[in-house]
Amino acid sequence: MALSKVAAMSSLTDEETNFLRFANLLIRIALKAVRDLFDKYFTPGGLSVMLNQSKGKLETLNQKKILNKSQMDLLYPPHGTATVTVQSSDMDITLMICLLRNLKKMKIQDSLPRETDVCAEADISRIKYYRNWIAHNTDGQINKNDFPVIWKNTCEVNNLITA
């Protein structure tokens, strides 16, 4: 009897499948696109220097609740912690976007840019917008009309990787 309930629960609607496919795309492709761009601006050796030079600014962002304690601890490990050089592979997409926005002064929007705007800042804005949209989506569905549009918008940010 319990097995039949599991089988019934595992059937997904097309809208739920669209949501899961899109979430997977964001996790795999969008994260790589942001990380690749981040690494162009903050080379592994230069990241530590930039963080040391920007500590005051990042502490202000922490006070304003833009950065949280765990993000600050990642960027500036507490005393007594083994000193390890921070790398983009240690960061999530939110932290990398925050650093690009605040340290490199990239004009990353909170809203969805026009489709015709294909600059790197617009592509990162798209990723940020859709990542937040997925994170706050409460029904876990994307309808069949919206899916091709948001899929195409997100796949095109792949140009960041090859740029």
Q: What is the pTM of this model?
A: 0.81
Q: Phi/psi class of residue 5: alpha, beta or left (left: φ > 0; alpha: ψ in -120 to 50)?
A: alpha
Please choose, from the candidates 105, 103, 42, the residue with its C-alpha nearest in 3D space to the C-alpha of residue 67. 103
Q: In the prediction, which pLDDT does 116 show?
A: 85
Q: In the prediction, which pLDDT does 21 show?
A: 93
Q: In the prediction, which pLDDT does 159 show?
A: 56
For the chain, 163 residues long, give each residue's pLDDT as a single digit of tens.
Answer: 455 554 555 688 999 999 999 999 888 888 888 999 999 999 878 898 899 899 999 999 999 999 999 999 999 988 755 556 788 999 999 999 999 999 999 999 999 998 888 889 999 999 999 999 999 988 999 999 999 998 888 887 755 544 4
**Token digits for 126?**
């798209």
Side-chain half-sphere exposure of 101, counting CA atoms within 13 A: 19
* Helix or strand holding residue 62 (H, E): helix 55-63
